[in-house]
Chains A and B, each alone.
Chain A
């Protein structure tokens, strides 16, 4: 709020000196505008982020404070040389993120293309299609664990009625189906995010482009490849980047549906961090793992933005 007072410039300023002054002030305006956001982030997120970096160099266990001491690079040494779970969980994170972002993008795209047609009750269908987005990870896992349950789950019941399986299956208990099962549940929740953003972008593509293509005799598929996709590029770059970071850190469903099991086969890096720091109260080691994660995501973001030439500072 205090920003408002500062930039309240005089409405009319006939004198030249005032104009000069105004130009000088103009230079500061962007800083004034980002100041409140900047302050709130610096005050409330920098200290927590800073502690993570600090504790990555410490033995810090909140349930055994008597062991706490300086660790130097011990944690990092352990991560890269001794920890048998680091690489597998990093690989699981990779699998998780790629399958999540990939499937959500493809299915979200299909849904967006469908919802972009005109049909009866479109508004209603759209609202319904977006609902899973509003469901928290915890609730989504409750819903899906109810459905996947071996004894009382509706999925087994449906598949048995259809004759696809003959006995109830334990979907979340087999190393392969467990991962797929959680992926499906999270994809269910993530499709609307892409559907909404892509649908919006679709609507901003000028109709004339398609008409021109039609005159040239391009079919549905061709005009999709040559018009729709290029027009959607920026949207796709932005949403996939954000989604990648989010899904990387998203553990709700994995945690509640499989707990990372069986035998760590669905443990992602972020879950592993939570296991160490939050459940194991070993904040030192958890912080070191977080710092490594930070580095990985940081590199990814920079490379991704460079490679996709998104929002080059041309303006």
Chain B
């Protein structure tokens, strides 16, 4: 009797809402995948096919081959990984300063970080272009790496601040008593404990760089240096609407992120706990 009530409860308050939420999450992705597996004629055909009757990989082949997708994929990886490295190092340092020290100007620094987020990116494009033109870095991945890092650091600094606050100060002090200098203490004691937080920061940053379109387009004047979102935008222009290839391109672009999530979800969850406890 009691058991069946408990079961009912579990179904009503757990399985049912979980199923609903997950279906809501998964359905658009499922639909995109199914669209990618249909030929253009089948996509537009009615009644709709929920599972393609004649599945085809032609869209994937087309997306991958046609306009240099492989190159964009590689460029995106280069930009993404480099940005992640810079952001992780710099925001660890500044997050450390914020969480471990009292110093003059701390509040202003925090406020400055927030203020950088108030301006729509589209308003900053031309001045950014002028800066990098003067530096001779147009079409150089470095211009994207630097810009992305500058844009991401405010947020990741606040994140890292939270993570570091979560690592007991005593551990570090103990290490310094044992003769480590501060950087060594950070390197050997704080860093390992911070790993989950660093994974979270890295994932945040990587996903941002992976998806950013406008800056990537505007700061690059060479076809061979474009990143993935620029490549995807080719499939959306007038005369060029190809839902199947677009869907296939989207799925391909998603793959690294999915791999990243399945690998990082454990760290990510543990890591974020630190960040937001403050």
Chain A interface residues toward B at CB < 8 A = 3-4, 7-12, 27, 29-31, 33-34, 36-38, 40-41, 43-45, 47-52, 62, 107, 110-111, 114, 117, 119, 123-140, 142-144, 146-147, 151-152, 154, 157, 188, 191-192, 196-197, 199-204, 234-235, 238-239, 242, 245-246, 249, 251, 270, 273-274, 277-278, 283, 286-287, 290, 293-294, 297-298, 301, 310-311, 313, 315
Closest 4 CB pairs of A and B: A136-B211, A200-B272, A134-B257, A48-B124
- Give 21 CB contacts A-B under 8 Å: A30-B98, A30-B106, A31-B103, A34-B98, A45-B150, A48-B123, A119-B14, A129-B25, A130-B265, A196-B272, A197-B275, A200-B269, A200-B270, A200-B271, A200-B276, A201-B273, A201-B277, A235-B277, A286-B123, A287-B123, A297-B118
Q: Are B253's CB and A139's CB within 8 A? A: yes
Identity of the chain B residue whose Cβ is nearest the Cβ of A33 in the assembled complex: B97
Besides A201-B272, A249-B120, 7 other A-B contacts (C-beta < 8 A)? A12-B179, A31-B103, A128-B26, A129-B25, A136-B253, A143-B250, A152-B48
Q: Are A40's CB and B44's CB within 8 A? A: no
User: With the chains together, A196 CA to B265 CA distance in Å?
Assistant: 9
Residues of A within 8 Å of B24, CB to CB, are 188
Q: Are B254's CB and A131's CB within 8 A? A: yes
Q: Are B258's CB and A139's CB within 8 A? A: no
User: With the chains together, A297 CA to B123 CA distance in Å?
Assistant: 16
Q: Does B190 contact A (CB under 8 A)?
A: no
Q: Does B51 contact A (CB under 8 A)?
A: no
Known contacts: A36-B93, A139-B232. The answer to whether A9 contacts B181 by CB under 8 A is: yes
Q: Are A40's CB and B90's CB within 8 A? A: yes
Identity of the chain A residue whose Cβ is nearest the Cβ of B106 in the assembled complex: A313
Known contacts: A11-B181, A114-B17. The answer to whether A137 contacts B211 by CB under 8 A is: yes
Q: Does B239 contact A (CB under 8 A)?
A: no
Chain B 83-122 residues near chain A, CB threshold 8 A? 90-91, 93-94, 96-98, 100-103, 106-107, 109, 111-122
User: With the chains together, A238 CA to B266 CA distance in Å?
Assistant: 22
Residues of B within 8 Å of A36, CB to CB, are 90, 93-94
Q: Is the interface of B mostly helix, strand, loop or mixed?
A: helix
Contact of A29 among B91, B97, B273 (CB under 8 A): B97
Residues of B within 8 Å of A62, CB to CB, are 126
Best-buried of A36, A134, A290 by chain B (most CB within 10 Å):
A134
Interface size on B, residues (CB 8 A): 100
Q: Does B213 contact A (CB under 8 A)?
A: yes
Q: Are A204's CB and B131's CB within 8 A? A: no
Q: Are B181's CB and A8's CB within 8 A? A: yes
Residues of A within 8 Å of B68, CB to CB, are none
- Separation in Å of the A310 CB from the closest CB of chain B? 8
Known contacts: A34-B98, A40-B149. The answer to whether A238 contacts B276 by CB under 8 A is: yes
Contact of B257 among A11, A48, A131, A245 (CB under 8 A): A131
Contact of B114 among A130, A132, A283, A301 (CB under 8 A): A301
Best-buried of B106, B154, B158, B181 by chain A (most CB within 10 Å):
B181
Q: Are A238's CB and B31's CB within 8 A? A: no
Known contacts: A33-B96, A311-B278. The answer to whether A48 contacts B127 by CB under 8 A is: yes
Q: Are A143's CB and B28's CB within 8 A? A: yes
Known contacts: A152-B48, A196-B268, A197-B276. The answer to whether A52 contacts B97 by CB under 8 A is: no
Known contacts: A3-B93, A107-B21, A138-B233. The answer to whether A273 contacts B272 by CB under 8 A is: no
- Separation in Å of the A146 CB from the closest CB of chain B? 6
Identity of the chain A residue whose Cβ is nearest the Cβ of B211 in the assembled complex: A136
Q: Does B12 contact A (CB under 8 A)?
A: no
Residues of A within 8 Å of B270, CB to CB, are 200, 203
Q: Are B118's CB and A294's CB within 8 A? A: yes
